[in-house]
Amino acid sequence: MLRFRILAAALMIVAAGCSRAPQAVNEVVSLRVSKIPDTPPDAVWSNAPEHTAKLLLQDLVEPRLAKASTPEVKVRSVTNGSEIAFRLTWPDAVVNDVPEPGRFPDGCAVQIPRVREVDPPEPQMGQSSRPVDITFWRADWQASVNGRPDNIRSIYPNAAVDHYPFEAKSLEPGSAAQREMATRYSPAAASGNRRAGPRDVPVEDLVAEGPGTLSPRPGAGSRGKGEHGAAGWSVVIVRKSPQGLDVRTRTQIAFAVWEGSKQETGARKMRTGWIPLSVREAK
Amino acid sequence: MARVMNWQLGREMSYWYPESRPNKQFAAVFDTNKCIACQTCTLACKTTWTSGRGQEYMLWNNVESKPYGFYPLAWDLKLLESLEGGKWTGRKYEGQTIFEQAPAGERVLGWRPESQDYAYPNVGEDDCTGQIDGGASMAMPHMNWFFYLARICNHCTYPACLASCPRGSIYKRPEDGIVLVDQGRCRGYQECVKGCPYKKIFFNPMTGTSEKCIACFPKVEQGIQPQCFVNCIGKIRLAGWISKPENAKPENPIDYLVHVKKIALPLFPQFGLEPNVYYIPPVHVPTSFTRQMFGPGVDDAIKAYRNAKNDPDLASLLCLFGSSEMVMPRWKRQGDTVSGLDEKGNTLVKVPMNEPVHVRAAYDKLYQISRTNCP
Ligand code: SF4
Ligand code: SF4
């Protein structure tokens, strides 16, 4: 409760001093807007206050991240009441968007407790019976959404393939028999686990109740878009607003960033602790 | 980490999870002396399981020419270097395993192969630098010999792939000890690929998950040996079940070869996984090399193997390799015939120790024509 009061006081101080945008704020303040922007360069973002979140090593479970990489992520947020959007920006010189043996895509994630509480669950993936909702964006999924073909040559341009059984002449393309044959050699897809392949959105909705418990949260309907430029990645993640979050309330939020070129994947990541998240009406 | 017993090391060791042995453990014996590197096993597996997209580079079964063949490149040398070869005192391993040598923050000592490392599935194939009249053109650390090492997943008692997965997506089946990746749960972190010292688990970039040898479990469940066993041209392979040494049953072919005769040895036991594919070491290779590869039992194994001609039981059991597609959990010799039996003692196959010899005359009197060897 004491912590809540301190945070509330901090917010009032911040709120008092922000007549111009963008302001640097020491928590994530989501600006009320009428329309949610879907792309990183959208002009709406320039009105939203910016929070610079320090990234820390994942140091709770093995495998841990041994060496710090991405130092911080800049976050802006807007909301229209039903949806909340975040724009995460961090420096990254090289695009890593091709998963291969020993190679990993860049990525980022937003985590919010399922239930708004003064004392939130563990910041690293939540805890038993106290779930956290996660929206995860990955550079390879973005490449796929952007139109990268779903074939081996988009990973290995010089690959020579003699024959796939599901391309046999006897199988009519698109027929049930042909699809069955393709699935037979793609066991993850057969079990509904679509870690790769064509997709409509570059993000995935997940829920966790502690490290190692990450599971899909179907139907959550988040979306996103990432763009890479000279300054690095800029990624928009749009999800449903946390229940009960409005100008009078607050919740907590945490972020994570994976640097593909440093072989960061899964638990090997840079992450933040909980950061207060509140909503402010646009002036 | 828990303390577990690894009989191959002659001591307890540290492992990520407590000891939990399956009710039955799938195991195999490969006789390296009989392999001709025809790669029929490799293709049998490839066409059965890894013909899909993203599996192009995968060889769940591969055969490499030692000492210079590797798949992936230098897979064994990289770890041997970190473990400094591994030190044995008698039959006890005094060095560190990959679990005991795990760096801070890691679950096992591992390394990540990259795509290029898989690009030369048998570099140095059949390179033999000896027997060149004018002498060899260069000096190599290993002169004048090579042998073929056929490799599949070892369905280890203490799998490093399983220990490495932070999500618990890999499991060891209690009914047969076969190690599998839950394809619905894997998120493609490749920690298992990094952790498995044998590099027998592979990342599929088109599905985004890791995949591995499944010991043809749909066949094993029906009592049939896996594809790479039944298709083996050299008849070097025998699949079955292994017991702990103290429970060894001489009527079980794998137990007899591994525990009773001790002619079949684990591959790199010093890694600490208690692998369940056992190798009859090559008889012609310097044992300074094979001791590092198969542990301190090599000299005795070769001696017993060479003595098979005076050991009818052992000689007969070696005749059972490649004789039936069925898994033969029991065996017995009667005179100069050996039988593979099922659990109830029913005969699955009967094999004579000496095949009858037929001599065909060079001239066929009936058809009044000379026979040739041409097909
Ligand atoms: S050989 Fe490798 S993939 Fe197979 S069970 Fe052992 S650690 Fe796992
Ligand atoms: S099929 Fe048998 S003989 Fe041929 S390479 Fe494989 S293990 Fe060796």
pLDDT of residue A261: 97
User: Do A186 and A215 lie in a common domain?
Assistant: no
Closest ligand 2 atom, residue B63 Cα: 5
User: Which chain B residue has the Cα nearest residue A103?
Assistant: B114
User: Do A52 and A182 lie in a common domain?
Assistant: no
Q: Tell me: the pLDDT tens digits for B299-309?
A: 999 999 999 99
The domain boundary residue, chosen from A197, A224, A254: A197
B278 - beta bridge partners?
Answer: B29, B266
- Chain A, 94-113: which have a CB under 8 Å from a chain B CB? 98-104
- Quote the mean pLDDT of chain A: 91
Do A107 and A138 meet the contact criterion of CB atoms below 8 Å apart? yes
Amino acid occupying residue A137: W
User: Which chain B residue has the Cα nearest residue A155?
Assistant: B205
User: Do A55 and A134 lie in a common domain?
Assistant: yes
For B267, list phi and psi in degrees, rounded to 5.
-90, 120
User: Which chain B residue has the Cα nearest residue A60?
Assistant: B105
Report, as ranges of residue numbers, the positions in chain B whose pLDDT lies below 70.
126-133, 373-375
The domain boundary residue, chosen from A165, A197, A229: A197
CA–CA gap between residue A66 and residue A267 (Å, rounded): 11
List pocket residues of ligand 1, CB cut-off 6 Å. Answer: B 153-156, 159-161, 179, 196, 198, 200-201, 212, 273
The domain boundary residue, chosen from A169, A197, A225: A197
User: Which chain A residue has the Cα nearest residue B50?
Assistant: A185
CA–CA gap between residue B201 and residue B192 (Å, rounded): 7
ipTM of the complex as predicted: 0.90
- Chain B, 33-52: which have a CB under 8 Å from a chain A CB? 50-52
Which residue among B52, B104, B166 places its CB closest to the CB of A185? B52
A75 within some domain: yes
A10 within some domain: no
- Which ligand sits nearest to residue B163's alpha carbon? 1
Closest ligand 2 atom, residue B234 Cα: 3
User: Do A225 and A190 lie in a common domain?
Assistant: no
For A14, list phi and psi in degrees, rounded to 5.
-60, -45
For ligand 2, atom 6, which residue shows the shortest CA distance?
B41
Contacts of B166 in chain A (CB under 8 A): 61-63, 211-212, 266-267
A133 within some domain: yes
CA–CA gap between residue B183 and residue B214 (Å, rounded): 12
Q: Using alpha carbons, select from B70, B107, B212 the residue that is nearest to residue B154.
A: B212
User: Do A115 and A239 lie in a common domain?
Assistant: yes
Judged by a CB distance cut-off of 8 A, whether residue A66 touches chain B is yes
Of B59, B149, B179, the one to substitute when testing ligand 1's pocket (max ligand atoms within 8 A of C-beta) is: B179
C-alpha B150 to ligand 2 mean position (Å)? 7
* DSSP string over A156-212: STT------GGG-TTSPTTSHHHHHHHHHT-HHHHTT--SSS--S-SEEEEEESSTT
pLDDT of residue B210: 98
Which residue among A59, A99, A190 places its CB closest to the CB of B205? A99
A8 within some domain: no
- Is residue B323 exposed (0-12), middle (13-18) or buried (19+ Cβ within 10 Å)? middle
A72 - beta bridge partners?
Answer: A54
As for how many domains chain A has, the answer is 2
Contacts of B186 in chain A (CB under 8 A): 188, 193, 195
CA–CA gap between residue A223 and residue B137 (Å, rounded): 63
A20 within some domain: no
CATH of the domain at A132: 2.60.40.1190
User: Do A178 and A48 lie in a common domain?
Assistant: no
Q: Using alpha carbons, select from A11, A48, A45 the residue that is nearest to residue A27.
A: A11
| Inter-chain touch A265–B55, beta carbons under 8 Å | no
CA–CA gap between residue A185 and residue A187 (Å, rounded): 6
Contacts of A152 in chain B (CB under 8 A): 53-54, 56, 205-206
- Tell whether pTM > 0.95: no
Judged by a CB distance cut-off of 8 A, whether residue B183 touches chain A is yes
User: Do A113 and A179 lie in a common domain?
Assistant: no
B311's enclosing H/E stretch is none
Which residue among A163, A184, A212 places its CB closest to the CB of B166? A212
Contacts of B209 in chain A (CB under 8 A): 187-188, 193, 195
Q: Which residues contact B373 (CB under 8 A, 6 or more apart)?
A: none
User: Which chain A residue has the Cα nearest residue B48?
Assistant: A185
Q: Which residues contact A46 (CB under 8 A, 6 or more apart)?
A: A21, A22
Please give, rounded to a whole number of angstroms, the shortest distance from the CA of B80 to a CA of chain A.
20
Judged by a CB distance cut-off of 8 A, whether residue A197 touches chain B is yes
Amino acid occupying residue A156: Y
Judged by a CB distance cut-off of 8 A, whether residue A216 touches chain B is no
Q: Which two tokens stand for residue B332?
A: 């017995």
Q: Which two tokens stand for residue B40?
A: 């029929």
- Which ligand sits nearest to residue B35's alpha carbon? 2
Quickly tell me which residue has 């839950």 as its tokens.
B182
Report, as ranges of residue numbers, the positions in chain A whose pLDDT lies below 70.
1-22
Amino acid occupying residue A168: A
- Which ligand sits nearest to residue B79's alpha carbon? 1
Structural domain including A168 reads 154-197
Q: Using alpha carbons, select from A58, A212, A138, A258 the residue that is nearest to residue B169.
A: A212
- Chain A, 145-174: which have a CB under 8 Å from a chain B CB? 150-152, 155-156, 159, 161, 163-166
Helices B298-306 and B287-294 pack at an angle, to 10 degrees, of 110
Please give, rounded to a whole number of angstroms, the shortest distance from the CA of A229 to a CA of chain B.
25
| Domain boundaries along the sequence of chain B | 2-130+142-280
User: Do A84 and A188 lie in a common domain?
Assistant: no
A180 within some domain: yes
Q: Which residues contact A169 (CB under 8 A, 6 or more apart)?
A: none
Quickly tell me which residue has 């209690």 as its tokens.
B174
| Inter-chain touch A195–B187, beta carbons under 8 Å | yes
| Inter-chain touch B114–A159, beta carbons under 8 Å | no
Judged by a CB distance cut-off of 8 A, whether residue B92 touches chain A is no
Q: Using alpha carbons, select from B158, B166, B172 the residue that is nearest to residue B189.
A: B166
A57 - beta bridge partners?
Answer: A270
pLDDT of residue A4: 41
* Pairing relationship of beta strands A28-32 and A72-79 according to DSSP bridges: parallel
| Matching CATH number, B2-130+142-280, of 3.30.70.20, 3.30.2010.10, 3.40.1390.10, 3.40.190.80 | 3.30.70.20
List pocket residues of ligand 2, CB cut-off 6 Å. Answer: B 35-41, 63, 148, 150, 232-234, 236
Q: Write down how long chain B is.
A: 375
Which residue among B112, B117, B209 places its CB closest to the CB of A193? B209
pLDDT of residue A98: 95
